[in-house]
Amino acid sequence: AEPLLDVQDLSVEYQTLRGPVQAVSHVSFSIGQGEVFGLAGESGSGKSTIAHAIMRILHSPAVITGGNVLFDGDDVLEMDVDGLEAFRWRDVSMVFQSAMNALNPVLTVGEQIADVIQRHQPTTTKQQAKDRAAELLDIVGIDRNRVDDYPHQLSGGMRQRVVIAIALALKPQLMIMDEPTTALDVVVQKDIMQQIEYLKKELGFSILFITHDLSLMVEFSDRIGVMYAGEIVETTNAHELFNKPLHPYTQGLMASFPALVGPKETLTGIPGSPPNMLEPPSGCRFHPRCSKAFAPCPLQQPSLREVEPGHFVACHLY
Ligand code: SF4
Ligand code: MG
């Protein structure tokens, strides 16, 4: 079957005073119907830039310099203003980290959900939109009687659930979640992610899941792409990535996060610092930090190759 989202060879550049920065380089991945695809990697590796490029909400000085983004066969990068208006929220919606703080303080949560519905479905009556808003609150685990509450009357976790309700309002086929629960405490995070997983099964949408929290990522993703310095360096299913990471960077990430169960261990971390993206290292961009680097690494850029069925890695070791 054709994937729902197919990102092909996407590149994004930031024009800075000190020169162009290649924030995303030739990134390809696809997401199937009902699938959760996770993007992992340190901050600054290009994860959010990819999300913004897919939604076409990148702003200057960021420019898409190449590639295609196909949604259900349509090229998102070619859409005009009207096409985009329909695409956003209806086909693809987005929940980001601080979204709960972007709710309008002078409107009730019900009004804000109803507003999205009426804007995209103008034939909906006010009462229908409000009923649907109450139903959506129910769906995300908030008592529907809170439909007339203002954001300040709700906790942070409840406000983020309202944002998810808004993202679900038009029954999108894909939800992009960029650090959707990062601002919340661990118990609330888990609770919300479990609810999203349940909703995903009920409603059948797909998710692009971005988080720096690897344990959440491994738990909730079907497949994961690991990014380093604007490139995907490894991609496979979550179970395999966790149990048998092949790329030395992924191995470092996996070693640096505490056990999923049991006592929290200290973080070992990956020695060295993220690369200067103005002058990325030659050859393999990870080579200055890689304990396994050998002769070809600084000279030749490794390409992403399938080394086991469905398991792709960009590293000269394989
Ligand atoms: Fe390390 Fe070389 Fe593999 Fe890069 S290509 S990750 S430097 S071994
Ligand atoms: Mg980010």
Q: What CATH number is attached to the domain comprising 71?
A: 3.40.50.300
Cβ < 5 A residues, ion ligand 2: 48
Nearest partner of 225 among 84, 5, 37, 1, judged by Cα: 37
**Would you give the DSSP letter of residue 316?**
T
Amino acid found at 128: Q
What is the number of the ligand closest to the CA of 98? 2
> Does residue 18 form part of some domain?
yes
317 lines ligand 1 (CB under 6 A): yes
229 lines ligand 1 (CB under 6 A): no
> Does residue 76 form part of some domain?
yes
CA of 155 to the centre of ligand 1 (A): 46
- Give pLDDT, residue 265: 47
Going residue by residue through the chain, which has 318 residues, state the pLDDT in tens, using 9 for 90 and above.
Answer: 789 999 999 999 998 888 899 999 999 999 999 999 999 988 889 999 999 999 999 988 899 999 999 999 999 999 999 999 889 888 999 998 777 778 999 999 999 999 999 998 999 999 999 999 999 999 888 999 999 999 999 998 899 999 999 999 998 999 999 988 887 888 888 888 888 998 899 889 999 999 888 888 999 999 999 999 999 999 999 999 999 999 999 999 888 766 554 444 444 567 788 888 888 999 999 999 999 999 999 999 999 999 999 999 999 999
- Give pLDDT, residue 262: 47
> Does residue 262 form part of some domain?
yes
Name 282's Cβ contacts closer than 8 Å, sequence gap at least 6: 298, 299
Total domains in the fold of the chain: 1
Length of the chain: 318
> Does residue 129 form part of some domain?
no
99 lines ligand 1 (CB under 6 A): no
By residue range, what is the domain housing residue 221? 5-103+173-313
CA of 115 to the centre of ligand 1 (A): 50
> Does residue 130 form part of some domain?
no
- Give pLDDT, residue 226: 96
**Alpha helices in the chain, H assignment, sequence order:** 47-55, 81-86, 109-120, 126-139, 156-168, 186-203, 214-220, 238-243, 248-256
Cα-Cα end-to-end distance for the chain: 29
> Does residue 243 form part of some domain?
yes
**pTM for the full model?**
0.92
Report the complex ipTM: 0.95
> Does residue 119 form part of some domain?
no
> Does residue 150 form part of some domain?
no
